[in-house]
Amino acid sequence: MNQEDAVNRAIEDVVDLHRNRFTLLKEAKKPKIGWVTIYTPEEILLAAGVIPFRLTGEVGLNSTEPSAILGNNYCSYVLSCLGEGLAGVYDFADGIIFADACDMRKRLWEAWAREIPSNKSYFLEFPNDASDISKEYFASQLRKLIKILEREYECEITGEALRQSIKVCNESRTLMQRLFKNKKGERLALSGPESIQVVKAASTGMKESFNTKISALIDVLETAEQPPARDRHRVMICGSYFDHSEIIETIEGAGADFVCGDISNGVKYFEGNIDLNSDPVTAIADYYLEKNTSAYRLDTDVRVEHLLDLVEEYQVDSVIYYALKFCDTNLHDFPYVKEKLKEEKIPVLFIEGERNTTNFGGTKTRIQTFLEARMF
Amino acid sequence: MLQETIGQERQIQYQNLLNLVGDQRQDTDEDKPLLKASQMRSIINSHRMMQAYREGSRVAYVSEQFPSEIAFAFDMIPWNLESMAIMLAQSVDVDRVFKLTQEHQLSRDICSFLRGPYGMMMENCYPTPDFVLTNTQPCEGLSKVGLISGKGYKAPVLALHAPNSIDEDSLSYLVKQMEHMMSRMEEDLGIEVGPDSLKSVVEYSNQAREYYNKTVQLLRSNSLPDVSRELQEIFGMNYFGVKENARICKVLYEEAMQLAGKETSKRKRVLWIGQVPEESHEILQHMREVVDIVYWAPLWDANMMMLDEKDPLKSIAERAILYHWDAERTKVETSQICEDHEIDGFLIANVWGCRNVMGISQVLRDIANSKKLKHLTISIDLVDRNNYAFNQVKNRVDAFLELLQ
Ligand code: SF4
Ligand code: SF4
């Protein structure tokens, strides 16, 4: 096998975890619980012997029924997830955990509880700041969740079990941080669409398997001969739930690189690590509240500071702000974020879209025009 | 910011507001005699608006169901972002305001109750606030508008996060947040607000609430549409905690007593759910010809809650959580309202961009169906008239009214 084939094979190996997730999850002899926000403490679910997997809304293409339940003018990620649930896509799961990460996901929880009673639904309170008061409260909510899981699965979630699952998740995060690190002039290890697929693979809950596969990928990449350097315009995407290979392909087709996604299918998922030396529940609570730099976080400046840090770290030239239609918090934040980026002379393009759109014509032209004006 | 500078800014803002007064005037029921309580409220409202533009006044922008008792304990004028939007929509050139928000790329998909204040701030015609006090009710958008306004005016933003569940952890979490908020306000203002200030505010709040609740009782078995409307206004004004509000509630109760039993013809009762248009709005005028409108929001359990004078923050916390439109609680509460008020039908007003009413509409329709009540869901925009035309909904409203008869 030549080098290129070996790299491609290793990438495919990781991505297969996502592609085949339904089969793999169904086969796994463990209980499974789905989640809809990256602020769900997967570590606690893993410590209970549960596989925590993400709902991606990818196969919930029929929005008629969910729209009748929640409304037409609703976030399409939320509608797609509900569509999947109504279609029985998650019948293999014991339940779904909904953390309070935006108003529409709260409504999704309520609708799920009513309409899909075969899946248990859990609701986790999630403060929108990271004050000491909020951290203490969130930790109390995590303890409550632990009790519920202990009762449900007749197990004891010990400190040791939590430390063990933190270790596994920290390892996943560290490996992804290593894989995704990139500098100006370097050729990226993964294409944009591949990078999204890798993060999606990480969120399928099969952590150990993911860690093995991604380690193998990193090994192959590190031992392979480095491709010649290339200096391309560097683009970051931020905003709502994002999973559009067409948009990334347009960026790459225009001769730019997608170097960083400040999105839940990007760095937001694998940033930071949980402190293994403190009380595990406190450490988990602190980690998730501090890591929250999404639009749900009330203070937009925290988000902006984080965005600017990433711009610096990844040497970003321009930003695409992607908002799902009707995603209120991201729509509210945009004028402010745009102003702040403008102050730093960072060009930004605003794009609105839907979870499962197929018509990209207009968006494609806008991206091309935006990038061409900055690249040539 | 120096009070003097704030004072100068507010003078300019007041002039800007006057300049923004539009040509179009909405029709009003000019001949309709107003309740005395309504007249009082209108005077108090105008007075507080004027006060808010004065130098030396302390102004706090607040979100819709923010515990106003906290603002009053600090002798602040609460400037309710959402209610102000609808009030001002009647007199100012809202098109100009919305154009400005579009120029700033604020999405038109956002509810106009939120775009309105945003635009008004861009026009620089809201009074500079000393503080922005927000909570997560009724929606996250409102807290965001509060946050952005604080950044714009460089005013401290102090926010409450109200969880959904009512239990000891959640209550004490909210109490701690309120204590923290109050101590931050004391620090910034350089004053000490002793427990007595909160105590007297809570007493006024309870006095008002007592009359308010008694008035609600009268609504149950009497046809008192104007009283129902006034309760809606009192709820929207959210002035619980000052003497004037206690007086308005008392006067309203006395008037309701006098009116009770006078209206003999029993008309059908429609529960108006969702955001409420100003009183002269054509839909209301049209419906009032045929049915009695009972407003949903003033009848919520949260609005009936008396505060515990010995442990006010804890009961304020409980009320705050109750204000969330939690599906399960709403179901129980609304079913009870239907029984208590002998409701014949629901009108669910879906304000463009309000995901909360939209998200809970199915639950409400289910209640109506289970009680065999007629219901109609309409899409409407109460502030941005570009998003709505009466003709589009009139036929459906007429069909609904016919079904009810
Ligand atoms: S895309 Fe926006 S509205 Fe949709 S779930 Fe995410 S934050 Fe909520
Ligand atoms: S109408 Fe709905 S979206 Fe608009 S401010 Fe009120 S609760 Fe928020």
| pLDDT at position A191 | 93
B76 touches B181 (CB < 8 A): no
Please report, for residues A217, A260, B112, the alpha-carbon distance to residue B149 in angstroms, rounded to integers and kept in the order given. Answer: 48, 30, 16
| Proximal ligand: closest to the CA of B325 | 2
Provide the shortest C-alpha distance from residue A58 to chain B (in Å).
22
- Percent above pLDDT 90 for chain A: 89
Residue B231: is its pLDDT beyond 60?
A: yes
Please report, for residues A13, A35, A97, A144, A279, the alpha-carbon distance to residue A149 in angstroms, rounded to integers and kept in the order given. Answer: 32, 15, 11, 9, 19
Distance B325 CA to ligand 1 centre (A): 19
| pLDDT at position B27 | 52
CA-nearest residue for atom 4, ligand 1, is A75
Residue of B209, B224, B211, B230 lying closest to B38 (CA atoms): B230
CB of A198 within 6 A of ligand 1: the answer is: no
Q: Does A335 touch chain B (CB under 8 A)?
A: yes
- Please choose from A70, A74, A76, A78 the residue to mutate so as to test ligand 1's pocket, defined by most ligand atoms within 8 A of CB: A78
Give residues with Cβ within 8 angstroms of A341, minimum separation 6: A307, A319, A347, A348
Question: Lowest-pLDDT range, A149-153, B226-230, B349-353, B360-364?
Answer: B349-353
Provide the shortest C-alpha distance from residue B327 to chain A (in Å).
6
Distance B356 CA to ligand 2 centre (A): 7
| CATH classification of the domain holding A68 | 3.40.50.11890
Report how many domains make up chain A: 1
Cβ contacts of B114 on chain A, cutoff 8 Å: 332
From the DSSP assignment, how many helices (H) and strands (E) are in chain B?
A: 17, 8
- A vs B, Cβ pairs < 8 A, gives 132
Please check whether residue A69 lies inside any domain of the structure.
yes
Structure-token match 């202990």, residue found: A150
B37 touches B255 (CB < 8 A): yes
Q: Does A133 touch chain B (CB under 8 A)?
A: yes
Cβ contacts of B165 on chain A, cutoff 8 Å: 123, 125
Residue of B62, B194, B74 lying closest to B132 (CA atoms): B62
Please check whether residue A349 lies inside any domain of the structure.
no
**Confidence grade of residue A4 (pLDDT, cut at 50, 70, 90):** confident
Cβ contacts of B147 on chain A, cutoff 8 Å: 298-300
Question: Which of A321-325, B274-278, B383-387: highest mean pLDDT?
Answer: A321-325
| Proximal ligand: closest to the CA of A322 | 1
Q: Does A216 touch chain B (CB under 8 A)?
A: no
Q: How far apart are the C-alpha atoms of A266 and A264, rounded to whole Å? A: 5
Structure-token match 């409504």, residue found: A107
Task: Please give the full DSSP string across B125-139, using - where no structure is assigned.
Answer: -SPPPSEEEE-S-S-
Residue B276: is its pLDDT beyond 70?
A: yes
Determine, for residues A332 and B106 on separate chains, whether the beta-carbon distance falls below 8 Å. yes
State which residues form the domain around A117: 25-153
Strand partners, B347: B272, B376
Distance B349 CA to ligand 2 centre (A): 12
Residue B370: is its pLDDT beyond 80?
A: yes
Confidence (pTM): 0.95
Tell me the pLDDT of chain B averaged across its residues.
91
Residue B301: is its pLDDT beyond 80?
A: yes
Task: Please give the full DSSP string across A107-175, using - where no structure is assigned.
Answer: HHHHHHHHH-TTSEEEEE---SS--HHHHHHHHHHHHHHHHHHHHHHT----HHHHHHHHHHHHHHHHH
B305 touches B333 (CB < 8 A): no
Q: How far apart are the C-alpha atoms of A56 and B189, rounded to whole Å? A: 48
ipTM: 0.94
**Confidence grade of residue B22 (pLDDT, cut at 50, 70, 90):** low
| pLDDT at position B196 | 82
Please check whether residue A148 lies inside any domain of the structure.
yes
Residue B254: is its pLDDT beyond 60?
A: yes
Collapsing DSSP to helix, strand or coil, B376 comes out as: strand
Residue of B313, B54, B72, B74 lying closest to B188 (CA atoms): B74
Please check whether residue A67 lies inside any domain of the structure.
yes
Tell me the pLDDT of chain A averaged across its residues.
95
Nearest ligand 2 atom to alpha carbon B357: 2
pLDDT tens-digit readout, A194-249: 999 999 999 999 999 999 999 999 999 999 888 787 889 999 999 999 999 999 99
Residue A321: is its pLDDT beyond 80?
A: yes
Residue B278: is its pLDDT beyond 90?
A: no
- Please choose from B82, B149, B238, B388 the residue to mutate so as to test ligand 2's pocket, defined by most ligand atoms within 8 A of CB: B82
| pLDDT at position B132 | 97
**Confidence grade of residue B23 (pLDDT, cut at 50, 70, 90):** low
Residue B209: is its pLDDT beyond 90?
A: yes
Average pLDDT over residues A329-349: 97
Average pLDDT over residues A33-55: 98
Residue from the list A103, A129, A338 with its beta carbon closest to the beta carbon of B105:
A338
Please check whether residue A263 lies inside any domain of the structure.
no
| Proximal ligand: closest to the CA of A101 | 1
Determine, for residues B148 and A336 on separate chains, whether the beta-carbon distance falls below 8 Å. yes
Determine, for residues A137 and B352 on separate chains, whether the beta-carbon distance falls below 8 Å. no
Mutate one of B111, B115, B144 to test the A interface: name it (highest A CB count within 10 A): B144
Residue A112: is its pLDDT beyond 80?
A: yes
φ, ψ of residue A34 to 5 degrees: the values are: -85, 160
Q: How far apart are the C-alpha atoms of B147 and B196, rounded to whole Å? A: 30
CB of A241 within 6 A of ligand 1: the answer is: yes
Determine, for residues A331 and B109 on separate chains, whether the beta-carbon distance falls below 8 Å. yes
Q: How far apart are the C-alpha atoms of B146 and B159, rounded to whole Å? A: 9
Residue of A141, A110, A111, A191 lying closest to A39 (CA atoms): A141
Nearest ligand 2 atom to alpha carbon B138: 7
CA-nearest residue for atom 1, ligand 2, is B354
Burial class (CB in 10 A: 0-12, 13-18, 19+), A31: middle
Residue B28: is its pLDDT beyond 60?
A: no
Burial class (CB in 10 A: 0-12, 13-18, 19+), B304: middle
Mutate one of B118, B173, B183 to test the A interface: name it (highest A CB count within 10 A): B173
Please check whether residue A149 lies inside any domain of the structure.
yes
Residue B32: is its pLDDT beyond 80?
A: no
| pLDDT at position B81 | 87
pLDDT tens-digit readout, B146-156: 999 999 999 99
B397 touches B283 (CB < 8 A): yes
B148 touches B122 (CB < 8 A): no
Residue of B60, B280, B226 lying closest to B157 (CA atoms): B60
**Confidence grade of residue B1 (pLDDT, cut at 50, 70, 90):** low
Please check whether residue A178 lies inside any domain of the structure.
no
**Confidence grade of residue B315 (pLDDT, cut at 50, 70, 90):** very high
CA A142, chain centre distance (Å) = 21
Mutate one of A102, A124, A126, A328 to test the B interface: name it (highest B CB count within 10 A): A328
Buried residues in A64-74 as b, exposed as e (16+ CB within 10 A)? eebbebbbebb
Q: Does A298 touch chain B (CB under 8 A)?
A: yes
Provide the shortest C-alpha distance from residue A141 to chain B (in Å).
8
Radius of gyration from C-alpha coordinates of chain B: 21
Please check whether residue A141 lies inside any domain of the structure.
yes
Question: Lowest-pLDDT range, A112-116, A124-128, A352-356?
Answer: A352-356
Cβ contacts of B327 on chain A, cutoff 8 Å: 107, 110, 113-114
CB of A203 within 6 A of ligand 1: the answer is: no
**Confidence grade of residue A310 (pLDDT, cut at 50, 70, 90):** very high
Residue from the list B136, B151, B173 with its beta carbon closest to the beta carbon of A137:
B173
Omega before B163 cis (within 30°)?
no
Half-sphere exposure for B354 (CA within 13 Å, toward CB): 28
Determine, for residues A140 and B169 on separate chains, whether the beta-carbon distance falls below 8 Å. yes
**Confidence grade of residue B385 (pLDDT, cut at 50, 70, 90):** confident
Give residues with Cβ within 8 angstroms of A66, minimum separation 6: A60, A74, A78, A79, A80, A82, A83, A86, A111
